[in-house]
């Protein structure tokens, strides 16, 4: 098993989101994972790494087919429409910087999927059999009888996720020998304790695999919206087996060996906790069967809840991200969900909480600091940043706080995917800088004309501007538009180059922003919400 336990080194930091079902439009829950992945990958780009960020859409299966039929269009037409009108525009709107967008109906995917399953078939990993069991079309998953909830009638049973009746399927189809992989999976989890995160998710998977795994039904013959099995075209591949392979087909598997070697194995699969078993059990087993390396980490996030239930379109509780961005703006949106909900746990969205954080953290703590500092450099130095005349204890305390914040944010966001903790560390630094300004009172010092006080004023304003320089770099992955605005207002690009080229490794090197930088006031980063609504 050593071949699976050791990951061959790969050049790229390759991150994936789940590929989303296009039966409906995206809601906050979908955007949550995609924004998290975007912040993670932007962070790693700022470390100077070779990064690849993949998202896409899952377009086969019964759920999509039934939706298309209900709308009187072909499933392909339906998918094309939703992808172009809803999904891609949303990611653009939210400033998601994905490197690729895979659709499971693309030939670059379906051709490779057929080769992959043919290979498993040839290796004797797939056999023909029959299966009867409860199936949830919402989940596109056979359910275990023990996990069902009681329904209205005596015979009715409900899916625990969708709270809708399951269907009993009885099918003659093909099976993947998943049951053979239990011991190998357990061995792999033991050798790679960081493979499934967080710990609660890992424990859940361990408990599941420690029971006997059942073989997996991987084909359907009652409908044809899927990838045909190459050896029996009366069957299409079960949508999940097709979908999971997006992570390799989009990375060049079977088509571009060089690219595939660079990208695979993936560094992180981001998944919602409801699809953890697919990623931490079925997918690794399929890869083992194919003789391919396993992803390095599968990280499960919690759900956004509404009234104690998972937010979902099928429960009619899905909120469109644009309903929030039109009020709070895109940057604040990206910030809020990652800051307010510890990654990995469930969380509820509330308009009041968002408003409170917007006002106190973004508008007051961060936005005001930026505009106050720029305004004072404008007023007292005609916008030309003065050199610090001295670097005393108070300034050193700010520089030290920056080192701590940068290290902590790098560890938490870049390594632990603890976005809330990492962002909190950056905002702790902002608090320190605000405290420094309050204590130094530059607006009072400016009233004095003594030489000492002129020097003091220069030192204080330089310190504030330099602290903001670092803040722009640290917040760029989270709030790219506000960070760019700040970078611009500090006149930093002329001396330091584009914001995107700034590196985390040097962000805490004190004194990078040169004296003489042309500081301008710029737009208010986070305008008062009332003004926004009125406009």
Q: Under the rule (CB under 6 A), what is the footprint of ligand MSP?
A: 18-21, 29-30, 32-33, 58, 243-244, 246, 271-272, 274-275, 303-304, 310-312
Residue 27 or 44 having the CB closest to ligand MSP: 27
CA atoms within 13 A on the CB side of 435: 11
Residue 127 or 351 having the CB closest to ligand MSP: 351
User: What one-character DSSP code corresponds to residue 523?
Assistant: S
Would residue 79 show up in a list of annotated catalytic residues for this protein? Answer: no
Residue 114 or 246 having the CB closest to ligand MSP: 246
Encode burial over 111-136: b for 16+ CB neighbours within 10 A, e otherwise. ebbbebbeebbeeebbeeeebebbbb
Tell the burial category of 215 from Cβ atoms under 10 Å away from its Cβ (0-12, 13-18, 19+): middle
Distance CA 201, CA 193 (A): 12
Of 54, 187, 147, 153, which is closest to residue 108 (Cα–Cα)? 54
Q: How far is CA 171 from CA 132, 222, 278, 302, 487, in A?
A: 6, 8, 21, 33, 61
Would residue 313 show up in a list of annotated catalytic residues for this protein? Answer: yes
Distance CA 239, CA 141 (A): 9
Residue 217 or 246 having the CB closest to ligand MSP: 246
Of the residues 7, 88, 93, 162, which is catalytic?
A: 162
Q: Are strands 196-197 and 298-301 parallel, antiparallel or unpaired?
A: parallel
**Contact between 213 and 207 (Cβ < 8 Å):** no
Of the residues 93, 177, 296, 313, which is catalytic?
A: 313
Distance CA 65, CA 240 (A): 15
Number of other CB atoms surrounding residue 255 within 10 Å: 14
Minimum CB distance to ligand MSP, residue 248 (Å): 11
Residue 138 or 491 having the CB closest to ligand MSP: 138
Of the residues 60, 79, 109, 139, which is catalytic?
A: 139
Minimum CB distance to ligand MSP, residue 331 (Å): 21
Residue 34 or 325 having the CB closest to ligand MSP: 34
Q: Which helix (H) or strand (E) holds 498?
A: none
Using alpha carbons only, give the angle 464, 465, 468 rounded to the nearest 5 degrees. Answer: 90
Minimum CB distance to ligand MSP, residue 341 (Å): 9
Minimum CB distance to ligand MSP, residue 246 (Å): 6
Using alpha carbons only, give the angle 199, 200, 204 rounded to the nearest 5 degrees. Answer: 115
Residue 76 or 360 having the CB closest to ligand MSP: 76
Of the residues 27, 44, 60, 109, which is catalytic?
A: 27
Q: Which two tokens stand for residue 170?
A: 């009885």
**Contact between 433 and 398 (Cβ < 8 Å):** yes
Would residue 44 show up in a list of annotated catalytic residues for this protein? Answer: no
Would residue 139 show up in a list of annotated catalytic residues for this protein? Answer: yes
Of 176, 166, 157, 170, which is closest to residue 238 (Cα–Cα)? 176
Distance CA 323, CA 298 (A): 30
Minimum CB distance to ligand MSP, residue 140 (Å): 7
List, in sequence order, every residue forming a beta bridge with 67; answer none if it has no partner.
none
Minimum CB distance to ligand MSP, residue 310 (Å): 5
Q: Are strands 216-217 and 167-176 parallel, antiparallel or unpaired?
A: antiparallel
**Contact between 119 and 290 (Cβ < 8 Å):** yes
Minimum CB distance to ligand MSP, residue 365 (Å): 28
**Contact between 289 and 123 (Cβ < 8 Å):** yes
Q: Which two tokens stand for residue 370?
A: 């930026």
Minimum CB distance to ligand MSP, residue 239 (Å): 8
Minimum CB distance to ligand MSP, residue 68 (Å): 16
Residue 37 or 367 having the CB closest to ligand MSP: 37
Note the residue count of the chain.
Answer: 535
Would residue 310 show up in a list of annotated catalytic residues for this protein? Answer: yes
Of the residues 60, 109, 143, 310, which is catalytic?
A: 310
Residue 240 or 526 having the CB closest to ligand MSP: 240
* Nearest residue to ligand MSP on Cβ basis: 272
Active site residues: 27, 30, 136, 139, 159, 162, 310, 313
């Amino acid at each position: 098993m050593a071949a699976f336990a050791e990951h061959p080194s790969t050049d790229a930091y390759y991150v994936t989101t789940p590929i989303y079902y296009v039966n409906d439009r995206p809601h906050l829950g979908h955007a949550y994972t995609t924004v998290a992945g975007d912040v993670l990958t932007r962070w790693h780009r700022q470390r100077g790494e070779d990064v690849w960020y993949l998202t896409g859409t899952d377009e086969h299966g019964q759920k999509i087919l039934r939706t298309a039929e209900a709308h009187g269009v072909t499933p392909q037409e339906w998918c094309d429409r939703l992808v172009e009108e809803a999904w891609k525009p949303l990611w653009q709107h939210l400033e998601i910087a994905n490197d690729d967008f895979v659709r499971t109906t693309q030939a670059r995917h379906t051709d490779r999927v057929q080769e992959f399953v043919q290979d498993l078939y040839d290796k004797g990993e797939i056999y023909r059999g029959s299966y009867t069991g409860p199936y949830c079309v919402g989940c596109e998953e056979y359910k275990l009888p023990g996990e069902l909830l009681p329904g209205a009638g005596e015979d009715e049973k409900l899916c625990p996720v969708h709270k809708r009746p399951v269907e009993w399927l009885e099918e003659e189809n093909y099976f993947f020998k998943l049951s053979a992989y239990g011991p190998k999976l357990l061995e792999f989890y033991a050798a790679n304790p960081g493979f499934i995160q967080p710990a609660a998710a890992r424990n859940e998977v361990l408990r599941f695999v420690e029971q006997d795994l059942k073989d997996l039904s991987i084909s359907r013959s009652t409908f044809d919206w899927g990838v045909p099995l190459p050896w029996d075209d009366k069957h299409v591949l079960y949508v999940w087996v097709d979908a999971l392979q997006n992570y390799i087909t989009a990375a060049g598997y079977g088509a571009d060996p060089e690219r595939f070697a660079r990208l695979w194995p993936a560094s992180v699969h981001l998944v919602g906790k409801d699809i953890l078993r697919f990623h931490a059990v079925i997918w690794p087993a399929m890869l083992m069967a194919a003789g391919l390396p396993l992803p390095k980490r599968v990280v499960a996030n919690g759900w956004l809840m509404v009234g104690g239930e998972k937010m979902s379109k099928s429960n009619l509780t899905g909120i469109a991200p644009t309903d929030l961005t039109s009020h709070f703006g895109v940057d604040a949106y990206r910030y809020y969900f990652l800051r307010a909900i510890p990654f990995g746990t469930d969380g509820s969205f509330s308009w009041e909480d968002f408003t409170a954080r917007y006002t106190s953290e973004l508008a007051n703590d961060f936005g005001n600091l930026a505009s106050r500092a720029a305004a004072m450099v404008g007023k007292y130095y005609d916008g030309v940043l003065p050199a610090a005349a001295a670097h005393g204890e108070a300034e050193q305390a700010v520089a030290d706080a920056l080192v701590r914040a940068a290290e902590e944010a790098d560890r938490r966001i870049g390594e632990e995917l603890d976005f809330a903790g990492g962002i909190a560390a950056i905002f702790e630094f902002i608090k320190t800088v605000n405290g420094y300004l309050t204590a130094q009172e530059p607006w009072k010092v400016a009233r004095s004309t003594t030489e000492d006080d002129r020097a003091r004023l220069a030192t204080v304003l330089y310190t504030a501007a330099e602290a903001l320089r670092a803040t722009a770099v640290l917040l760029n992955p989270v709030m790219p538009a506000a960070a760019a605005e700040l970078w611009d207002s500090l006149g930093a690009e002329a001396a330091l180059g584009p914001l995107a080229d700034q590196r985390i490794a040097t962000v805490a090197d004190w004194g990078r922003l040169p004296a003489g930088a042309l500081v301008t006031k710029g737009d208010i980063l986070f305008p008062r919400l009332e003004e926004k609504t009125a406009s």
